[in-house]
Amino acid sequence: MRMRILPCSAALSLVAISAAWSQQPIVLQADSALQTSATIYSNAAIVRQQFQLPLEKGENLVSIERLPEFIAPNSLVLRPRSGGVSVTLVSFEPTVTSSIDILQAYAGRTVTLRQRSGVIEGQLLTPPTSIVGGTEPCYNGAILRTRTGELLLSPCGELVLPPPSPPVTIAPRIRTVLSAQSASPKPLELLYQCDGLQWQATYSATLIDNRSLELVGYINVSNTTRTTFRCNPLQLVAGSVNIQRSSQRYKTGTAELRMASASTDAELPTQETLDEYHLYSIPSGATILPNSVTTLLLGGPVTLSYNQRLVVRGRYYYGGYGHDDQESQVPVATVVEFSNAGSEPLPAGSVRVWQQDRQGVLQFLGEDNIAHTPSNEKVTLTIGESFDVKASRREIDYKRLAERAAQYTVEYTIRNRKNSPAQVSVLESFAGDWEITASTLPYTKRSARQVEFVVSAAAGQVVTLRYTVQHRW
């Protein structure tokens, strides 16, 4: 067997680190950092925190405690912000998240099992893999060796544990050894990825008349951790950013979010292009409370032109499948379309549509989600279904022309029960080779697979659309 002799300097360094690890640490609280800044994405955030440390010359043990849940351990970065300081060792200690986690730390230790029949003391050889509740919980997979040498497999009862050593961590923390060349206060930056901070946009679109709407955008930052983030600056990235998910996240349960007070009178965020994304900066920063959703103003109000129409989306035919001679009711969707021409880009989110009634009360009409939308792009919202305009569809004729060819005739009935005219767009889609050979109304070929019929119906009128298509696949 070969023995390796460490160089003298390396051996002394290990001795110094070991000595530092046993000393009283300098304790810092993560939520009391001198400065906290964050860049928040749609599914995570990068948090930067600044601390001032009263370091002694030599090795110093520093403990940064009360870190937020949902930290990606492999994202942790500690950076001394001045010369004469180096990071020697970093240890991340996750929080205990369940009874199973606590019992894992007691493997090999003596515990007490209280049962109705009495009290048993023994050594916990193997911690349980699961706990089944009841009047006497059962510890599935656990092995307990009693003082008499008996083995209890998956015992039931109440486990009483001696005080933990070291104490159980109720929140994640970092313990690090910093080497300082002199005794003086030193700045330190901590950077990490937190999956408990996310944001998305929401929009309020108010229909002013039949031609224009007023659009206002909001920022919704959700904080599912138990930590308060006093972010200045606060920045948000809009775009599809690829964030590699590590195999494990450290958290302490599921949070119930509450709404924090919304700030809509502050300055609008500044917007700039960041590579292939958009970066929004909140000038005055923001305080993000734990287990809450904080709302900030994104932009607006801006007045845009819009078009509202009724749309029927028919059946998609593929080969010889999808045919049905039974009459069926087809939803008549209410669609609102507008272009954000001349306005700012619209990050992905939900759009809620409103309209005033005769008394001037704002009423909710529906909502839909939008993808990331650059300037001068079209936005299409499906906000609901028409109450008074109905559509039915049936196949009235079908003829097989060959093994892989057929001809069929489809009939739509549009019933307008409103006291005003209605115009309905009927969309039909086909696969393979197809050709419409007859139609009672003109149509527009929207793509290689889709056509659009526009059906106009006067107040109270019933209109029939019928077309015949030859289909080869």
For residue range 50-72, list pLDDT tens digits in order. Answer: 999 888 888 888 888 888 888 88
* CATH class in words for 99-160: mainly beta
Give the distance from CA 329 to its chain's centroid: 36
Higher per-residue pLDDT: 200 or 162 = 200
Q: Helix, strand or coil for residue 167?
A: coil
One-character DSSP codes across 203-220: EEEEE-SSSEEEEEEEEE
Residue 21's φ and ψ, nearest 5 degrees, are -65, -20
Partners of 60 in the beta sheet?
178
**Tokens describing residue 403:** 């093994």
| pTM flag (> 0.75) | yes
pLDDT tens across 70-86, in order?
A: 888 888 898 888 888 88
C-alpha–C-alpha distance, residues 284 and 201, integer Å: 19
Does domain 10-95+169-194 correspond to CATH entry 1.20.120?
no
CATH tag for 307-341+371-472 (out of 3.30.499, 1.20.272, 1.20.120, 2.60.40): 2.60.40
For residues 190 and 174, the answer to whether their CB atoms sit within 8 Å is yes
Residue 7, pLDDT score: 46
**5 backbone dihedrals φ, ψ, rounded to 5°:** -95, 120
Mean pLDDT to the nearest integer, 113-124: 87
On the question of a common fold for 99-160 and 307-341+371-472, the answer reads no
How much is the average pLDDT of 197-204?
Answer: 94
Instruction: pLDDT band for 91, please (50, 70, 90 cuts).
Output: confident
Mean pLDDT of 179-201: 90
E strands, 129-211, in order: 130-132, 138-140, 143-146, 151-153, 158-160, 173-180, 184-194, 197-207
The structural domains of the chain, with segments of one domain joined by +, span: 10-95+169-194, 99-160, 198-240+247-304, 307-341+371-472
Instruction: Examine the pLDDT at 280 and tell me if it is beyond 60.
Output: yes
pLDDT in tens, 421-444: 999 999 999 888 888 899 999 999
> Strand locations in 239-356, DSSP E?
258-259, 270-274, 277-282, 286-288, 292-317, 328-330, 333-339, 349-356
Alpha-carbon span 42 to 45, nearest angstrom: 8
Per residue in 284-314, pLDDT (tens digit) is 899 999 899 999 999 889 999 999 999 999 8
Q: Under a CB-based contact definition with an 8 Å cutoff, are residues 469 and 435 in contact? A: yes
Q: How crowded is residue 462: how many other Cβ atoms within 10 Å of its Cβ?
A: 12
